[in-house]
Amino acid sequence: MNPVEVVLGALSGSIVGFTLGLVGGGGSILAVPLMVYVVGVQNPHVAIGTSALAVAANALIGLGNHARKGHVKWPCALTFASAGVLGAWTGALFGKSVDGEKLLALFALLMLVVAALMLRARGQGGDATVRISRQNAPKLVATGTATGLLSGFFGIGGGFLVVPSLIAATRMPILAAVGSSLVAVTAFGLTTAISYASSGLVSWPLAAIFIAGGAVGSVAGTRTAVHLADRKGALNLVMAGLITVVAIYMLYRTTHAMAFS
């Protein structure tokens, strides 16, 4: 990697880390397009595999920050993540067989669906005392498995899917969902990264640079999340807006690339 790519990689990583700390999701949503369109990674599958590793590491850092502030509902988070690991591995096997540009286009369409769901959930306060129970455990297992499958297929940590899934299954507040989602993001991202690395689709130097930049951004993102959580629906709005903007840009780039291929 040349010096320009190193700087761009570090800056991109800090953005990803900030996003993970802020909304739990969006790390891979941003990491993949940043690697492809900013750093200049030519192979979309390498960008996906590398981002999965970097996001898993940055999510683990963000998890530590949120855990210290008491934002993680551990029983719910571990149940969800455990159910999704096998799905993530299976999804990754299918994702590697799909054309890279088509995979990015499908990724962008999924992002728009999730953005709409986040806007719909805006204003819902949630139950801060939520615990795992006979009522929500089956929902956690079902949504965890489905989210893991999609996470592996698209090569993402899946936080932008995990947050609304946790809220739907348990009605926990969004700040708790953000913190708890990082357990699954770490597990899903690492599972996907191992699958892609086994096929030689991970750039280790770029992953290291992303992780270093993300460690700095994660601290700032967590602090901002605590501030925004006091404003009802603000985190949902930020997350939905971020996802929508990046999705539209990715659809433009991928459809343009496929039209001239």
| More confident position, 237 or 145 | 145
CA distances from 166 to 12, 32, 169, 183 (A): 27, 24, 5, 12
pLDDT at 24: 67
**Number of structural domains the chain divides into:** 1
CA distances from 202 to 125, 208, 237, 249 (A): 40, 11, 33, 24
| Pick from 201, 191, 126, 125: nearest CA to 158 | 191
C-alpha R_g of the chain: 17
Range of the structural domain that residue 141 is part of: 3-259
Query: What mean pLDDT is reported for the chain?
Result: 85
Cβ 140 vs Cβ 80: under 8 Å: yes
pLDDT at 115: 79
Q: What is the pLDDT of residues 197-215, one digit of tens each?
A: 999 999 999 999 999 998 8
Band (180; pLDDT cuts 50, 70, 90): very high
pLDDT at 239: 72
* Tokens of residue 139, six digits: 């929902």
Q: What is the pLDDT of residues 41-84, one digit of tens each?
A: 989 889 989 988 998 898 898 899 889 989 899 999 999 999 99
9-13 — which CB contacts under 8 Å span 24+ positions? Answer: 9/39, 9/206, 9/209, 9/210, 9/213, 10/209, 10/210, 10/212, 10/213, 11/213, 12/38, 12/39, 12/210, 12/213, 13/54, 13/58, 13/209, 13/210, 13/211, 13/212, 13/213, 13/214, 13/217
